[in-house]
Chains A and B, each alone.
Chain A
C-alpha cells in the first residue's frame, strides 16, 4: 500500500505552484463571459444561481433570527455565496466537505435541512445534521483545525482505494494558524486528494489581510509546500465552480492537492456581536456592494437567455418559502433534554457520569434513564 510511489499525473511544475497574475475571472463585472473555453452547462449555471438565491435568503433570515435573539450568534455568508456554493457544487455527493462557522450557506447548498444547519447557532446542540449522511463534518470553530481532518480523511480514503476528494474551507485569518501549514504540508508530501479553499473576505474580525500576511497573495503559499495554486475571483460563481471542479477532479485522478484563494468580501459584521464601523469604512463596503455575486450571475444568465422573469420569480418564491419554513420551525421551542448531555461523552457513561445524571434527574424531578 505505497502511497508515495503510486502512478498518476506528474507532480506540479513550479509555474503551477504559483497563482496567475490576475485572479481567474470568467464573468466580467457586467456578467459577460470572458473565459477562453465554453461556459459550464446551462442547467448547471441556472442551478448555481438558484442555490445562491436560496442561500442569500437563508442568510438574511438567519441574520434576522440572530438579531431577534433566536440564535446565540450568526456569522453571515452574505457576499460569499459564489465561493461557498460554487465550491460545494463542484463536489460529488460522495466527496467530503469540512466547513467552518462561516459556511452555513454552503451547507444549505449541500442539501442539508436549513433548520438542522442552524442547530449550532441556535445553541440546542453542537451539530444538528448527520455528518455521515451528508459527508459534511460539523462546522468547525477553532480556526484551521478542520484542515488536517480533511487531509487525513482523504488520505485514508485513498489508502482504502476509494474515489473521493475532501474540501476544507478556511478564512484568510485562519491561514496564519499552524494547523493550516501542517495540513498543507502533509497533503502536498503525500499527494492527498484534497482541496483547500481559502475564502479571503479581507478581514479576520477586525484585522485586515495586510496585518495577516506579507505574501503577495495567500495562494502564493502553495509553492512553499510544492502544491498547485489558484487565485480566483470569489464573487464570480462560474470562476469558483470551474476552478474548484478542476482541482477536485485532478485530485481524484491522483494529481495531488490544490490551494485555492477566492477573493471576496464579508458584507455583514463578523457575527451578530460585531461592530465593523470600528475598523472599516462605509466607502470600502460600498465598493464591494457593487460587486455582488448574485447580480453578476443573474446578469449573465439573463443575457444568455437562461433566466427570465418567471424563473427568477419562481426562485424568489422558493427562497421565501424556505425562509418562512425556517421561521416557523424556529418559533417552536427547541427540543432540549438536559439528560442527553450525559449520553454521548463516551460509548458508555462512566460511573461518575451516571451519578451526575441521576443527580440532575432528581433536580429536574425526573428519573434518570
Chain B
C-alpha cells in the first residue's frame, strides 16, 4: 500500500532520499538543522546525515544563496531553504545576477545544480512578509526553473527532479498545503520538470492553476458540476518554467474557454503570460477571452483581511460564468 504523507513529510522524504543516494547533496539555511525547519521539512536530516550535510548558516539569505553558488561550482548539489517567501528578497541579487546567469556567462562551462526551496504564498493567517506569492520575479528571470507542486506526490517527485537538475531551480512550496496528505510513492521514476497534469478532465472550460490555487480550482470544478452543470477541466501546471504549452493548449482547444487562477497579484502576474500564450495558440478555438482570478493588486493584506485577497470558489465560478456562454447555457 502506498503510504499517505503530508506534503511537508513528502518533501522531507525527497530530501532524505536524495541525500542518501548522492553524497554531494547538502541542505542548509535558517533553522533547518536541529530544529528541522520552521515547517519541519528538514526534520531529522541533521541527525541522520550529520552537521556537514545539513546545517544552519549564519542568518543571511544573500550569503546562503551566494555560498551555494560557490559550492555548486565545486561540485556539490546544495539545497538551500529561504525561511519564508518575503525573506528570500535579500538573496535576490545572487539569484538574479549569478544563479540565473552563470551557465550563460560561461557559455555552458559552469552549471549550477542547486535548489532554492521557498515556503510560498498565503492563507495561513500570518502577519506581513509571511505570505507573498513571489513567482513572477523568478519566472521573469531567464535561467531559472520554477516549480510549484500542489500534491504530496508531486512535492516528492518534483523535488527529486529539481535536485537532479543541472540547472538552478526555484522550488515554491505552498505553505497552506504543507499539512495536506496524499499518497506518495517514493520508488516512482523521477518526474521530468516541465509537464503539466490534468487533475480533473472536463469539457466545458479549462481552469489553469498551480501550487495553492489547484485545490481551489478543483473545489470550484466540483461546485460547478453540482450546481451549474458545467464540466470543468483542471490543469495543474506543476512547473512554471519550463512551461508546458502542449498540455495547456490541448486542453483549451478542446474546451474553448479558460480561466487562470493564482494567488499573486494579477497585474503583470504569471497569469498574464499564460493568458497571452493561450490566446495566441487557441485563438480560433476560443469562445471567450481568457480570464484571470488572482490576488488583488495590493501589498499582501493583514491576516484578518486575507480572505478578500485570495481567489476562492465563488470568484472562480463568477469568472467561469462570465465566459460568454450561449443563451441556453448557464449565464450570470
Contacts and interface: CB of A to CB of B under 8 A. Distances in A.
A339 to B, nearest CB: 9
B137 interface: no
Interface string B125-160: 111111000000000000000000000000000000
Contacts of A120: 127-128, 302
A345 B297 contact: yes
B59 interface: yes
Contacts of A124: 302, 304-305
Contact of B59 (A204, A278, A353, A356): A204
B34 A278 contact: yes
A188 interface: no
A356 B61 CA distance: 35
B303 A352 contact: no
Interface in A301-346: 334, 336, 338, 341-342, 345
Interface size on A, as a range, is 35 or more
A334 to B, nearest CB: 6
A144 to B, nearest CB: 9
> Which of A73, A279, A341, A360 has the most chain B CB atoms inside 10 A of its CB?
A341
B1 interface: no
Interface residues of B, number: 38
A177 B127 contact: no
Given A205-B35, A205-B38, A122 B304 contact: yes
Interface of B: 30-31, 33-36, 38, 56, 58-63, 86-87, 89-90, 125-130, 267, 296-299, 301-305, 308-309, 314-315
Contact of A177 (B59, B298, B301, B302): B59
B59 A207 contact: yes
A124 B303 CA distance: 7
A211 B60 contact: no
Interface in A107-125: 120-125
A353 B34 contact: no
Interface in A208-230: 211-213
Contact of B305 (A173, A177, A336, A363): A336
Nearest to B314: A363
A142 to B, nearest CB: 6
Interface in A67-86: 72-73
A334 B56 contact: no
Nearest to B295: A356
> Which of B36, B59, B314 has the most chain A CB atoms inside 10 A of its CB?
B59
A341 B301 contact: yes
20 contacts: A72-B127, A122-B304, A124-B305, A126-B127, A141-B129, A142-B86, A142-B89, A142-B90, A143-B87, A178-B62, A205-B31, A205-B38, A207-B59, A278-B35, A279-B35, A334-B304, A341-B296, A342-B296, A342-B298, A352-B297
A80 to B, nearest CB: 18
Contacts of B31: 204-207
Interface in A146-192: 173-174, 176-179
Nearest to A125: B302
A178 B60 contact: yes
A240 to B, nearest CB: 24
> Which of B58, B125, B129, B299 has the most chain A CB atoms inside 10 A of its CB?
B58
Given A212-B58, A278-B35, A342-B298, A123 B303 contact: yes
A205 B30 contact: yes
A63 B267 CA distance: 39
A209 to B, nearest CB: 11
Nearest to A212: B58
B30 A356 contact: no
Contacts of B87: 142-143
A206 B42 CA distance: 13
Given A142-B86, A205-B38, A341 B125 contact: no
A341 B127 contact: no
Nearest to B55: A211
Contacts of A73: 126-127
Return the 7 tightest CB-CB contacts between A and B, nearest first.
A206-B35, A123-B303, A176-B58, A173-B59, A176-B59, A338-B308, A123-B304
Contacts of B56: 206-207, 211
Given A123-B127, A141-B128, A350-B297, 13 more contacts: A72-B303, A120-B128, A121-B127, A122-B304, A126-B127, A141-B127, A141-B129, A178-B63, A204-B30, A206-B33, A207-B59, A211-B56, A336-B305
Nearest to A206: B35
A142 B63 CA distance: 15
B298 A178 contact: no
Contacts of B90: 142, 177-179
Nearest to B306: A123
A14 to B, nearest CB: 26
A297 B95 CA distance: 49
A179 B33 CA distance: 24
A345 B314 contact: no
Contacts of B58: 176, 211-213
Contact of A174 (B59, B130, B296): B59
Contacts of A142: 86-87, 89-90, 129
B312 to A, nearest CB: 10
A206 B126 CA distance: 20
A182 to B, nearest CB: 11
Contact of A356 (B89, B129, B296): B296
A213 B298 CA distance: 38
A342 B265 CA distance: 13
A353 B295 CA distance: 12
B142 to A, nearest CB: 25
Contacts of A125: 302
Nearest to A275: B35
A341 B267 contact: no
Contacts of B63: 176, 178
B50 to A, nearest CB: 15
A341 B309 CA distance: 9
A123 B30 contact: no
A206 B34 contact: yes
Nearest to B304: A123
A176 B29 CA distance: 13
A120 B297 CA distance: 21
Contacts of A121: 127
B313 to A, nearest CB: 12
